[in-house]
Structure 1
């Protein structure tokens, strides 16, 4: 194979990953994301061992399931059982959970309860942490919308995002990352990192093939990613 500028810059390519390497990467992703049942089935099918200490993974799986079903109370209770300091030391995350609780009240047509909750629970948090005041204002606007839980036409982007069921997943992912960090675990899986590099490589190659960068020797996975000319 002809030597390319990239090969000259980076040296010999490492040996290809084995199936065990790839399976371990997938298993790590499932574990970090809190997909306990899927991780168990996958580990069994590819003959890998699950971690011996699975308590925190079970908690994260439980919390994720609760949030995806809109049951914020159940999620917060289990988080506090694991470590009450997690939410005490993360006011912005706690605000996100409380905001989701308010949104779920609106989904169930409980406008008065949602307004009272925003006043009694969200407002004190925003007063204590002024950076949350803008979010509080957006919450109050949401409470003033029609009781219809469908996304209103022409609603601001943030309201459309909050009322979208996918917002539950967004909050669940933020909580999962916080739980991982509290336990000293990596918050991002190797699979996610590899996909980011794959996307980056695809952007470098582009539709016209490789060679869009003039200085291949500047490429490094340890430094900042270079800007592709013409992509500004």
Structure 2
């Protein structure tokens, strides 16, 4: 049974117990938690999943050595994936596209939306660098044909080209396209596509479990007062407010 379902089952049992009580004491709660049997192997897999998905290749290598936990993908591919992601974050989209094709050309061949967004990011970088003529030519030759085939692409293209109409781009209605968050958004999209192509989850499991913990605690808190974790970074149980 996966760690995810073990946690769900135990939380469901705790909630069922809580239905008949108004207050759960710390002693009762801690005793209940000690009865939860989570294998160390499952915990190690959860950590490795996070390190691999987020691209911490050195930490993943060290953790593999220390824990004996094997990653489910070749760690060498993490280095390639991070190089692509970092290239986009620097604004070097052409280099990122070249690296993606070297890694697996099918990623862009089978994902027209991703390819459009990478090309859109190239256009944004040209505008950022005030290469107006080159930007217009690139938009007309590379992006306009795709916009004719897809209304969503056309709207995004028009919004991007609108950057050229403002002298003070930062305060314009489309100024967010030049913000670092736009690069991060594109980098995140290509990162997810690479992970999917490697049959790996595009999001780490750990944050999902933490969200599940928060949701379950809130649901349970509506029915009973009990010791809960308010700060997941410390995982300290805080006594219930009676």
**1:32-51 to 2 correspondence within 5 Å?**
32-43=53-64, 48-50=69-71
Q: 1: distance between equivalents of 2:73 and 2:203?
A: 21
* Number of residue pairs matched by the alignment: 199
- The answer to whether the Cα contact below 8 Å between 1:180 and 1:186 also exists between their aligned partners in 2 is yes
Instruction: After TM superposition, give the deviation of residue 5 of structure 1 in Å.
Output: 4.8
- The answer to whether the Cα contact below 8 Å between 1:34 and 1:64 also exists between their aligned partners in 2 is no
RMSD, aligned CA: 2.9
- The answer to whether the Cα contact below 8 Å between 1:29 and 1:189 also exists between their aligned partners in 2 is yes
Q: 1: distance between equivalents of 2:210 and 2:133?
A: 45
Structure with the higher fraction of residues in helix conformation? 2
TM-score by length of 2: 0.69
TM-score by length of 1: 0.72
Which residue of the partner structure matches residue 188 of structure 1? 203
Which residue of the partner structure matches residue 6 of structure 1? 16
Which of residues 149, 170, 177 in structure 2 aligns to 1:128? 149
Instruction: After TM superposition, give the deviation of residue 203 of structure 1 in Å.
Output: 4.7
Q: 2: distance between equivalents of 1:130 and 1:43?
A: 47
Which residue of the partner structure matches residue 132 of structure 2? 111
Q: 2: distance between equivalents of 1:120 and 1:31?
A: 38
- The answer to whether the Cα contact below 8 Å between 1:114 and 1:143 also exists between their aligned partners in 2 is no
Q: 1: distance between equivalents of 2:166 and 2:59?
A: 39
1:94 pairs with 2:109 = no
**1:1-232 to 2 correspondence within 5 Å?**
5-7=15-17, 15-17=36-38, 21-43=42-64, 48-50=69-71, 53-146=74-167, 151-152=170-171, 155-156=172-173, 159-201=174-216, 203-204=218-219, 209-211=221-223
Higher relative contact order (CA 8 A, sep 6+): 2
Gaps of 5+ in 2: 1-12, 20-31, 225-242
Gaps of 5+ in 1: 213-232
Question: Quick one: structure 1 residues 29 and 5, their matched pair in 2 at CA, closer, same or farther if it must change by over 3 Å?
Answer: closer
